[in-house]
Chain A
Amino acid sequence: MLPCTGRIDESLLLKAFENGADGVMVIGCLEGDCHYVSGNIRARARVERVYAILERIKIGPNRIRMYNLSAGEGSKFAAFANEFVDQIREIGPSPINLVRAGNQGVTEKEAT
């Protein structure tokens, strides 16, 4: 459980990709509305840094994105989620997953 997006650090975001995520959306409170003053601002900076890392190592670039929402904006949340999922579908699976799927294919073949 994270109390605030401000608790998310870069390594956690990268771990998600290591664990097979094709995309990660980070949703924080509206800017200026953070219970911990600037947690969501810090989160945005970290997301940007991870974005740059993913781009650099050719996993990204558009696989991570920060959104800001208030708790009362359910429909907006749904819209954002759909939008992001569409975006990731369009880009396709992460290269990590492609490699893993390929390796699996090889092992299966070898097994037969």
Chain B
Amino acid sequence: MITGTPKPIEEILEMLEPYDNIIVAGCHGCVTVCRVGGEKEVQVLASTLRLAREAAGRTITIREVSLERQCDPEYIEQMRPYVGDYQAVLSIACGAGIQFLAEKFTTTPLLPGINTGFLGVTVRQGEWSERCQGCGDCVLHLTGGICPVTRCAKSLFHGPCGGSVQGICEVDKEVKCGWQLIIDRLKALGQMENYGKLKPYKGWNSSRDGGPRRIIREDMI
């Protein structure tokens, strides 16, 4: 899922300084699962903002909305009838959702209520960990199902580097060396022959470097 963390309330209050009448918009997708932008979080954030603003002597009117998804146009359209009645929309969906709202509602300012994180997994309740950078050219079949781009701090294709000590990356004691994980896994799978091969230079053009990426599946259009 796409993960995220709430922005500090002070930062949100500062963003809301010019406004007295807003929508707080959540999303029932990923951000609900990682508990940063769902219906409940909308309620809590709206209450918090109302309390903070009123305590500071200036009330704010908030409409609480949760869309099924902010990344699909049909759900966004549900907001169209009333969005013009508000000065701004504070969205606590991921960056994609926030931008899609902004794109659809061109005259309404869109404000981010969360910092979007990464494509990750739930390690346990309250802990998420990145697994994929969406580089567009998956090599997991060669690396024991562990991604070198994401799991190695240097995204090396022929690791581990000299900074790998007892399975820990030099960058952070909490970070496991991605290449140690890959090697352990390749060994367990009996696929160590994959290690000894020179891998071609990665084509980053399928990754972040070509402007916004598009996927077009003719069969579905």
Interface of A toward B, CB cutoff 8 Å: 9-11, 14-15, 17-18, 53-54, 56-59, 94-96, 99-100
- Least CB distance from B10 to A in Å reads 8
Q: When the two chains form the complex, which single residue of B10, B40, B55 contacts A10, counting CB atoms closer than 8 Å?
A: B40
Return the 6 tightest CB-CB contacts between A and B, nearest first.
Answer: A11-B43, A14-B47, A57-B52, A95-B55, A10-B44, A11-B44
Are B9 and A56 closer than 8 Å at their CB atoms?
yes
Main SS class of interface, B: helix
A99-B55 contact, Cβ under 8 Å, with A11-B40, A11-B44, A53-B44: yes
Instruction: Give the distance in Å from the alpha carbon of A58 to the alpha carbon of B52 in the complex.
Output: 7
Give the dominant DSSP class at A's interface.
Answer: helix
Q: Contact between B48 and A57 (Cβ–Cβ < 8 Å)?
A: yes
Q: How far is the CA of A17 from the CA of B206 in the complex (A)?
A: 50
Cβ of B40: which chain A residues have Cβ within 8 Å of it?
9-11
Kindly count the residue-residue contacts between A and B in the assembled complex, taking CB atoms under 8 Å apart: 46
Q: Count the B residues whose beta carbon is within 8 Å of the partner chain — how many?
A: 13
Residue of B nearest to A16 (CB): B47
- Name the residue on B nearest A98 (C-beta): B55
Return the chain B residue nearest A102 by Cβ. B57
Indicate if the CB atoms of B44 and A96 lie closer than 8 Å: no
Query: Does A59 lie within 8 Å of B47, measured CB to CB?
Result: no
List residues of B whose CB falls within 8 A of some A CB. 9-10, 40, 43-44, 47-48, 50-52, 54-55, 57
Structural contact, A59 and B50, CB atoms closer than 8 A: no
Distance A99 CA – B50 CA, assembled complex (angstroms):
13
CB neighbours of A53 from chain B (8 A): 9, 44, 48
Separation in Å of the B173 CB from the closest CB of chain A?
A: 27
Are A18 and B47 neighbours in the complex by a CB distance under 8 Å?
yes
Inter-subunit contact A11/B55 (CB<8 Å): no
* Shortest Cβ distance from B8 into A: residue: A56
10 A-B residue contacts at CB 8 Å? A10-B40, A14-B44, A14-B51, A15-B47, A18-B47, A18-B50, A53-B48, A57-B51, A57-B55, A96-B55
A78 to chain B, nearest CB (A): 30
Please give, as numbers and ranges, the residues of chain B lying within 8 Å of A57 by CB-CB distance: 9, 48, 51-52, 55
| Residues of B with C-beta under 8 A to A58 | 52, 55
Q: Which residue of B lies closest to A100 (CB)?
A: B54
